[in-house]
Amino acid sequence: MNSGASSHMTWQRDYFDKFEEDSDGSSVRLGDNHKLFVKGKGDVMIRKLLNGQWYDSVIRDVRFVPDLKKNLMPEGKIIKLGMKIKVVASPYVKKSAFKETLLAVLKTSGLETELRNTVFHWMRSHNNNANINGYPVKEPLAYLRKAQLQWEKRIHKSLNSMCSELGVPLARFRLASDKDELSDKWTELSTYDIDLSQYRPVYAPKDFLEVLLWLRSPNYRPME
């Protein structure tokens, strides 16, 4: 908020929903008589709080001044719209009730609204529009399915290799009589003395850990 500013100004290019470049060399002059060049103007989408509800709104003819390094809203234009400006002293943040007093400061100082607008514009500039209105898009998990199939192929290859070395078929056709005999002796199988020394693990734990560590979501983009 600024009592001396004549126009809405911002230094954030990604705030603009509509933008027109300005190449005529126009400028603005600050209170210290320092001149900054205007690089364009346009419409900026914001979120406004009205009667306890948040709404999408637009500020038009906002000037883009990259060297300003702050956002300015002229008090005169706000008053002309029939609005009132109320300045409330922020209470101190108390250590004994840090969360409650901090939230109170954010609300009374207007920082809560500024934070909401900053997050709103950041999401718009990073093409996350689906999340702006509170409807997150379900993340595609095809890359996990692909990793699962590759891991299963790796297991099958290891099993086939071991069975070939031992001369033991991985699967074979059984007669009905063999199936009946196996069913009758199912509870006795654990008592059979079978030499398992030639059998090896299908995979090492480090192999599985390596697969997990190399999983990369194609939908993930690191914050800039």
> How would DSSP label each residue in 34-52?
-EEE--EEEEEEEEEEETT
Give the integer Cα–Cα distance in Å for 209 and 143.
17
pLDDT for residue 53 is more than 70? yes
User: How many Cα atoms sit within 13 Å of 210 on the Cβ side?
Assistant: 6
Give the integer Cα–Cα distance in Å for 101 and 105.
6
Name residues whose C-beta falls within 8 Å of residue 41's C-beta, 6 or more positions apart in sequence.
19, 20, 22, 61, 62, 63, 64
Give yes or no for a contact between 20 and 38, defined as CB atoms under 8 angstroms apart: no
The arithmetic mean of pLDDT across residues 45-64, rounded, is 79
pLDDT of 220 reads 65
Element housing 105 (H / E) = helix 98-109
> Which pLDDT tens digit goes with each residue over 146-183?
888 888 888 888 888 888 888 888 777 888 888 888 88
Give yes or no for a contact between 223 and 125, defined as CB atoms under 8 angstroms apart: no
pLDDT of 132 reads 46
Q: To the nearest whole percent, how much of the chain has pLDDT over 70?
A: 77
pLDDT for residue 134 is more than 60? no
At 199, which amino acid appears?
A: Y
The arithmetic mean of pLDDT across residues 134-138, rounded, is 52
Domains of the chain: 1-85 (2.40.70), 86-135 (no CATH), 142-186+195-213 (no CATH)
Name residues whose C-beta falls within 8 Å of residue 9's C-beta, 6 or more positions apart in sequence.
28, 62, 63, 64, 65, 68, 71, 72
The pLDDT confidence band at residue 1, using thresholds 50, 70 and 90, is: very low
The pLDDT confidence band at residue 78, using thresholds 50, 70 and 90, is: low
Name residues whose C-beta falls within 8 Å of residue 26's C-beta, 6 or more positions apart in sequence.
37, 38
As a whole number of Å, the end-to-end CA separation of the chain is 28
pLDDT of 61 reads 84
Give the integer Cα–Cα distance in Å for 17 and 125.
10
For 100-159, list the strands marked E by DSSP. Answer: none
